[in-house]
Chain A
Amino acid sequence: MNLDDIRKKKKTRIKKRFIFRTSILAILVAAIIFALVTNLTKDKTIYRVGDHAPDFRLEQINKYHQLETIQLSDTHGKGVMLNFWATYCEPCEKEMPYMEKLYADYQEKGIEILAVNLGEAKLTVDRFIDKHQLTFPVLHDRKGQVTDLYKIGPMPTTYFIDPEGKIVEKVEGALTLDRLEGYFMEILPKDYEVSSK
């Protein structure tokens, strides 16, 4: 073996070792980051802002609204406020009048409100609708399907979904009239024709 050969060999060996060590360290660092991130983000939500809102179909129980079932994908082209609520939840009750107030104006501009009730007795929901004279669709999640689908924690939780079906905002807690209108502006369709239902 002459000196040049030895030098060459050594060089490739060092290079190989560098690649080997770098890749091992990279794998380990990736594993650590994965472990820390998954552990520290205890949030179980699967659908976040920017994701496509998963589709569902639920029974509609507001007797002041004509549809019997509503599928989320049917509202394509409209901005959707997807609200999860219950009659016994005080902050939910506080924001309901605002929703009703804005619904009258924004329905024509292409905004739909879907208020998903967490599966209470229908009578309770009926009385609540009467009390607040709600006209937007109220969906009845009797088997907890959509609540589980969206992994709803505290109430009220509201998703604002744009006309393409993308989640634009997720809000936990009650909304004021101003904030609600602000979110409506974010999901307002640009060229919505009134004739299209």
Chain B
Amino acid sequence: MGKLKCECGHFNPTGTILCEACGKPIEGNQHLDGNDKKKLLNMRYDGSARRSITHNQSIIDKIWRFFSSVKVGVWLIVIALVASALGTIFPQEMYIPPNAPSRDPAIYYEAQYGILGKIYYQLGLHNVYSSWWYMLILALLGVSLVICSIDRFVPLYRALKMQKPKRHESFISRQRFYSKTDHISDEEIQQVVKRLQAKKYKIKSEDGHYFAEKGRFSRWGPYVNHIGLIIILLAALLRQTSFMYLDEYVWVREGELTVIPGTKNEFFIENKQFIIETYDENDERFKEALERTGGEVVKNYQTDVVIYRAKDSVVDSDTTLEKVVEGEIRMNHPLKFASYTLYQSGFQSNEFTSMSFKLYEINDADEQAIDVFTVDLMDPLPEYELDNGFRVELDQYFPDYILDDEGPRSETMYPRNPAFVFKVFPPDQEKPEISFLSIGQNIDATGENNYKLGLVDFNTHYVSGLTVRRDYTLPLFGLGAAIFMIGVIQGMYWQHRRVWLHRKGESLLLAAHTNKNWFGLKKDITEAIEDTKINMVIDQEELN
């Protein structure tokens, strides 16, 4: 089967329903749009040949045909919708509360929600949004979007470009708006055409037939809209690459200098200080509100930082650092440097910086200090020389002390619960005295000690939690969203209106079509044919 030649002389692609040029229904294809059972023509895509409908040869064409179906697209949306909804029945895995008895999803869901929870977990719905099948559905939806758009846009564009002012009579008479008036003069037709022109219609004529059209570009609205969606999907795709999108977290102690993760060892951060400010209870303005909430309300979380850049390209613990920027990071006031942004995201206040101990005689009721020494808990010294010839050796140091089956040990490297084994060497004694100290404990291992150590002072520091982020995809999301909106506006606020004035001897056949707002079109025609004998169009759909 070659192209279909219409009686007007135009060659149409196979599968065309209404001739691209004159609109004559093409015999044998009318069932495709259901025209054979109705008086009115289905004007969807202007009766152009949806390419997928007609060709079904290679496997590629079959796949294409599958995805070009709007039905398939709608089903994909429904499945995605149902899956998304199911994911909200119980909290997702990452939202299992931290204080839950067990955060293991295998236990949590059943313990919390019973048999339904167990099924929920076993179906994998506790992690639905990152499951492979959920992502596959979204991806297939994207494919459907692209192919549906291409498959409809191309023939529609062609059909609207090919349309001729002179249409086939059957096309005219089977439009929704139609009227026939006998004995109409050319002057009257000219008058109508002029009025339509004044209403910004574009006029074309052929053999005394006139065609007025406006707002054709609104037909492209849905396709523009789809381009926006595709850009958004593309941005989501690029977000998966570490170059386009980076999301890291760094804990940095006050006074600490550490590498910023994700920057490939190029940037370092030093935490000068971390500040928490609360609203002043004595301030008249806040007094009432603070009393109502019953406690302190934090006004500001802030980290004062210095950012450095490593000069050497090789990762080196002695690398020379040059200062890049010094600044404050507060909630909603991130610090930007190079392509990175640092956000204030959390803090810990459970660490000790240093502890001071005094040495005194056990028998001394006044606990008069022989000397006081301070242990830097981030970097303690092995030995402390004291006055009067005393010497204290730090034999064991547990920054985060716990006692388990095998004895004392540290749980982490951070001084959250420091414990010490000190050896005290008095000037007149050969053998050291051993003391174990931790928070709330002061143990004399042998029970024969003459000297005792006591905590006299301590300092604490904050640990600031900062999010490190680089996001080059945001502008792309913005662009996609903007194009999406342009498409919506284009399709919503303009209508594609067409009026045909078809000469048939002495008579005039008047027909009109619009993709929406038929009332507006009716108004246009009423005003255009005023003071003429031309009959107002009848809405043939209402007649049925």
Question: Of all chain A residues, which has the CB nearest B2?
Answer: A6
* B261 and A148 within 8 A (CB): yes
* A54 and B378 within 8 A (CB): no
In angstroms, Cα B257 to Cα A127, docked, is: 24
* B139 and A88 within 8 A (CB): no
Interface bits B258-282 vs A (CB < 8 Å: 1, else 0)? 1101000100100000000000000
* A22 and B60 within 8 A (CB): yes
The verdict on A21 contacting B61 (CB below 8 Å), with A32-B136, A58-B317, A127-B397 known, is yes
The verdict on A140 contacting B51 (CB below 8 Å), with A39-B240, A123-B382 known, is no
| A36 contacts across to B, CB distance below 8 A | 132, 135-136, 139
The verdict on A57 contacting B315 (CB below 8 Å), with A38-B241, A121-B380 known, is yes
| B265 contacts across to A, CB distance below 8 A | 145, 148-149
Interface: B318 (CB within 8 A): yes
Interface bits B431-446 vs A (CB < 8 Å: 1, else 0)? 0000000000000000
Interface: A179 (CB within 8 A): no
* B139 and A35 within 8 A (CB): yes
Interface: B474 (CB within 8 A): no
Interface bits A136-151 vs B (CB < 8 Å: 1, else 0)? 0000111111101100
In angstroms, Cα B143 to Cα A10, docked, is: 27
* B143 and A145 within 8 A (CB): no
Return A164 CB to nearest CB of chain B, in Å. Answer: 18
Interface: A194 (CB within 8 A): no
| A6 contacts across to B, CB distance below 8 A | 2-3
| A7 contacts across to B, CB distance below 8 A | 2
Interface bits B497-519 vs A (CB < 8 Å: 1, else 0)? 00000000000000000000000
Residue among B240, B317, B399 making CB contact with A38, cutoff 8 Å: B240
In angstroms, Cα B318 to Cα A161, docked, is: 24
Residue among B3, B63, B381, B413 making CB contact with A86, cutoff 8 Å: B413
CB-CB contacts below 8 Å: A1-35 with B: 3, 6-7, 10, 14, 17-18, 21-22, 24-25, 28, 31-32, 34-35
* A28 and B142 within 8 A (CB): yes
| B146 contacts across to A, CB distance below 8 A | 24, 28
Interface bits A103-141 vs B (CB < 8 Å: 1, else 0)? 000000000000000111111101100000000000011
* A34 and B240 within 8 A (CB): yes
| A25 contacts across to B, CB distance below 8 A | 60, 63-64
* A55 and B143 within 8 A (CB): no
Residue among B2, B130, B380, B397 making CB contact with A10, cutoff 8 Å: B2
In angstroms, Cα B261 to Cα A141, docked, is: 14
* A18 and B317 within 8 A (CB): no
Interface bits B268-310 vs A (CB < 8 Å: 1, else 0)? 1000000000000000000000000000000000000000000
In angstroms, Cα B60 to Cα A71, docked, is: 55
Interface bits B185-199 vs A (CB < 8 Å: 1, else 0)? 000000000000000
* A69 and B64 within 8 A (CB): no
The verdict on A28 contacting B143 (CB below 8 Å), with A121-B380, A123-B381 known, is yes
| B57 contacts across to A, CB distance below 8 A | 14
| A86 contacts across to B, CB distance below 8 A | 413
Interface: B314 (CB within 8 A): yes
Interface bits B299-337 vs A (CB < 8 Å: 1, else 0)? 000000000000000111110000000000000000000
Listed stretches B70-78, B200-208, B404-412, B475-483; interface member? B404-412
* A31 and B378 within 8 A (CB): no
| A121 contacts across to B, CB distance below 8 A | 377-380, 397, 399, 413
| B409 contacts across to A, CB distance below 8 A | 88, 90
* A87 and B2 within 8 A (CB): no
| A142 contacts across to B, CB distance below 8 A | 317
* B139 and A118 within 8 A (CB): no
Question: Of all chain B residues, which has the CB nearest A86?
Answer: B413
Interface: A59 (CB within 8 A): yes
* A35 and B135 within 8 A (CB): yes
Question: Of all chain B residues, which has the CB nearest A120?
Answer: B413
Interface: B363 (CB within 8 A): no
Return A184 CB to nearest CB of chain B, in Å. Answer: 25
In angstroms, Cα B378 to Cα A180, docked, is: 33
In angstroms, Cα B317 to Cα A58, docked, is: 5
Interface: B396 (CB within 8 A): yes
Interface bits A76-105 vs B (CB < 8 Å: 1, else 0)? 000000000011101000000000000000
| B58 contacts across to A, CB distance below 8 A | 18
Question: Of all chain B residues, which has the CB nearest A93?
Answer: B409
The verdict on A122 contacting B379 (CB below 8 Å), with A38-B240, A86-B413, A88-B410 known, is yes
Q: Can you list 28 contacts pairing A with B, beta carbon distance less than 8 Å? A: A6-B2, A17-B55, A18-B60, A18-B61, A21-B64, A28-B142, A32-B142, A36-B132, A39-B135, A40-B132, A55-B314, A55-B315, A57-B316, A57-B317, A58-B316, A71-B314, A86-B413, A120-B413, A121-B379, A121-B413, A124-B410, A127-B395, A127-B396, A143-B268, A145-B259, A145-B316, A148-B265, A149-B265
8 nearest interchain CB pairs?
Answer: A56-B315, A38-B240, A32-B139, A88-B410, A57-B316, A120-B413, A58-B317, A145-B259
* A residues in contact (CB < 8 Å) with B: 3, 6-7, 10, 14, 17-18, 21-22, 24-25, 28, 31-32, 34-36, 38-40, 54-59, 69, 71, 86-88, 90, 118-124, 126-127, 140-146, 148-149
Knowing that A7-B2, A38-B241 are A-B contacts, what are 17 other residue pairs whose CB atoms are under 8 Å apart, sorted by A's residue number? A6-B3, A18-B61, A21-B64, A34-B237, A39-B135, A57-B316, A88-B412, A118-B413, A121-B378, A121-B379, A121-B413, A124-B410, A142-B317, A143-B257, A144-B258, A148-B265, A149-B265
